[in-house]
Amino acid sequence: MQSLPSFGARAIHAVALVLFSAFAAAPLIAAPGDVVSIEYDQTYSPSQVNSMAGQLFTSRAVPQARYTVDVYVIRYLSTDLEENPTVITAQLLVPRQPQREDQPLYLFAPGTTGLTDQCRPLREHQVGINWGLYRHHVLAIAGQGVIGMIPEYMHFGDPDRLQPYFIAEAGTRVVLDSVRAVKNLFGTGPGASAALRDAGVRPAAVFLAGFSQGGHAIFAAADRRADYAPDVRIDGIIGYGPTTNIEQLFREFSVVAAPIIYTFAQHYGVDRFDPAIMLADRWLPTLAQDVRRLCILGLQSYYPWGPWPLFRPEFNRALANRTLARDFPEIDAILRENITGLTGHRVPVLILQGSRDVVVNLDEQAEFVVALRNLGSEVRYLVYENSPHDTRQIAFEEVLRWMNERMTETGEQ
């Protein structure tokens, strides 16, 4: 399997322009979603798909793949938070169909892996580590005939920059421009891939799926689609234990609070989002180094799993009493700005929740579902008894069934 080189920020932009010029069949003005490069990575036979899926479905029956799957690594253009062009990397998983068929696009946003390039999801299968086995998951989906896409978060691939972790606008752009890239690749324009255009499958309905942090990103995309990408249609949202409210996450799963706080301080400024106001003294001197050196398994080992040892007493009290707006108004305003899902996007939603989830509070997830329904979304909400945070395996058949139902209802199947 080929490894992928890393480039500095300036080099990425230069490579993007060079590769885009070579990739396009005719001169174009580069736009978000335009494809910079496509690179064949690997082909998995059905038995190989089953073998990969078996590493994820350790306590459940492995879904038997029906199709061979070709995997490509693509790079496409997006826009960073400074409104500059940036290159996003993604894995595209294409099932080989015997005859031409329209199939859903299952765009999957991963859970937290870390802030730096060393933690990017694409490295999982390359170095043999388990941060969520995201390629394995989407391979299992693609083995059923569905087109799969796994975008990396913004600035993964650039060792000089950090992922804009849990910043809603960043997730929006990565996800929506990923949909644009797939449409371009399977289309008939200058950015199309001949290999994909002639494949036996082509994307029809678009389903945005996300686990944990990925749930935050896909709901952000639904919120901002009309403004950022009105050309993109979203047919459904699939959330596996989605974490859409950061204040709630601070209370329930403080393991990831430090990298969020550091990222927000970098983006919004310490004058507005000061780590010293929130974090206890012991975590402050090495905060910058710690969030850079630790991927998700390291974060889980290093930081406390509850809020009281992590935060200052006054911040803990405000979290517990739900008084952030009164006691820390600037911090509260920024956290509210990054709540996702609740703008009235009216996209149909499937939420798959474990009853033993230690990351998402069940009562607060139920409140989120009620709010979605009140804002016009049709929501199917399933709680799996005795299931932990990761519901991707237990809900596998339900997800396929729901996507097929949505496609039938909209006449796309």
Query: For the chain, how long is the longest CA-to-CA vector?
Result: 63
Arithmetic mean of pLDDT, 68-90: 97
Q: Which stretches of 286-361 are DSSP H helices?
A: 287-293, 296-302, 313-321, 324-327, 329-337
In this predicted structure, what is the pLDDT of residue 273? 99
Q: Are strands 85-95 and 69-79 parallel, antiparallel or unpaired?
A: antiparallel
Residue 3 in any domain: the answer is no
Residue 378 in any domain: the answer is yes
In this structure, the dihedral spanned by the alpha carbons of residues 165, 12, 221 and 243, taken in order and rounded to 10 degrees, is -20
Q: Are residues 250 and 151 in the same domain?
A: no
Arithmetic mean of pLDDT, 402-407: 96
Residue in 224, 303, 320, 219 with CA at minimum distance from that of residue 262: 303
For residue range 163-200, what is the model confidence (pLDDT) as tens digits? 999 999 999 999 999 999 999 999 877 778 887 877 78
Confidence class of residue 22 from pLDDT cuts 50, 70 and 90? Answer: very low
Percent of the chain with pLDDT over 70: 92
Token pair of 97, please? 């169909």
Residue in 227, 86, 217 with CA at minimum distance from that of residue 154: 86
Residue 2 in any domain: the answer is no
Residue 316 in any domain: the answer is yes
CA distance 75 to 219: 23
Q: Are residues 262 and 363 in the same domain?
A: no
Burial class (CB within 10 angstroms; exposed 0-12, middle 13-18, buried 19+) of 177: buried
For residue range 303-331, what is the model confidence (pLDDT) as tens digits? 999 999 999 999 999 999 999 999 999 99
CATH of the domain at 152: 3.40.50.1820
In this predicted structure, what is the pLDDT of residue 38? 96
Q: Is the pLDDT reported for residue 18 higher than 50?
A: no
* Residue 1 CB-half CA count within 13 A: 17
In this predicted structure, what is the pLDDT of residue 379? 99
Domain count, the chain: 2
Q: pTM, whole model, 2 decimals? A: 0.92
Residue ranges making up the domain that contains 369: 9-244+346-409
For residue range 285-299, what is the model confidence (pLDDT) as tens digits? 999 999 999 999 999
Q: Where are the beta strands (DSSP E) in 45-186?
A: 69-79, 85-95, 101-109, 147-151
Burial 87-123 (b: 16+ CB within 10 A, else e): bbbbbbbbbbbeeeeebbbbbbbbbbbbbbbbbbbbb
Mark which of 337, 357, 372 sits at the end of a domain: 337
For residue range 336-365, what is the model confidence (pLDDT) as tens digits? 999 999 999 999 999 999 999 999 999 999
Arithmetic mean of pLDDT, 260-277: 98
Q: Are residues 205 and 308 in the same domain?
A: no
Q: Is the pLDDT reported for residue 14 higher than 60?
A: no
Q: Are residues 353 and 388 in the same domain?
A: yes
Arithmetic mean of pLDDT, 126-145: 96
Q: Are residues 256 and 304 in the same domain?
A: yes
Residue with tokens 């008084």: 323
Residue 354 in any domain: the answer is yes
- Residue of higher predicted confidence among 413 and 306: 306
Beta bridge partner(s), residue 17:
none
CATH of the domain at 261: 1.10.260
Residue 214 in any domain: the answer is yes
Q: Are residues 156 and 253 in the same domain?
A: no
Mark which of 310, 337, 364 sits at the end of a domain: 337
Q: Are residues 284 and 400 in the same domain?
A: no
> Please, what is the angle between helix 134-142 and helix 396-409, to 10°?
50
Q: Are residues 226 and 301 in the same domain?
A: no
In this predicted structure, what is the pLDDT of residue 413? 64
Q: Are residues 289 and 321 in the same domain?
A: yes
Residue 1 in any domain: the answer is no
Q: Is the pLDDT reported for residue 1 higher than 70?
A: no
In this predicted structure, what is the pLDDT of residue 6? 34
> Please, what is the angle between helix 134-142 and helix 46-54, to 10°?
140
Q: Are residues 239 and 252 in the same domain?
A: no
Give Cα 277 to chain centroid, integer Å. Answer: 29
In this structure, the dihedral spanned by the alpha carbons of residues 335, 167, 123 and 215, taken in order and rounded to 10 degrees, is 70
Tell me the one-letter amino acid at 77: L
CA distance 295 to 186: 34
Q: Are residues 207 and 266 in the same domain?
A: no
Q: Are residues 323 and 379 in the same domain?
A: no
Rounded to the nearest integer, the mean pLDDT of the chain is 92
62-71, 168-177, 247-256, 404-413, range with the lowest pLDDT: 404-413
In this predicted structure, what is the pLDDT of residue 259? 99
Residue 75 in any domain: the answer is yes
Q: Where are the beta strands (DSSP E) in 45-190?
A: 69-79, 85-95, 101-109, 147-151
187 in Cβ contact with 19 (< 8 Å) = no
For residue range 190-238, what is the model confidence (pLDDT) as tens digits? 778 887 877 789 999 999 999 999 999 999 999 999 999 999 999 999 9
Mark which of 308, 337, 366 sits at the end of a domain: 337
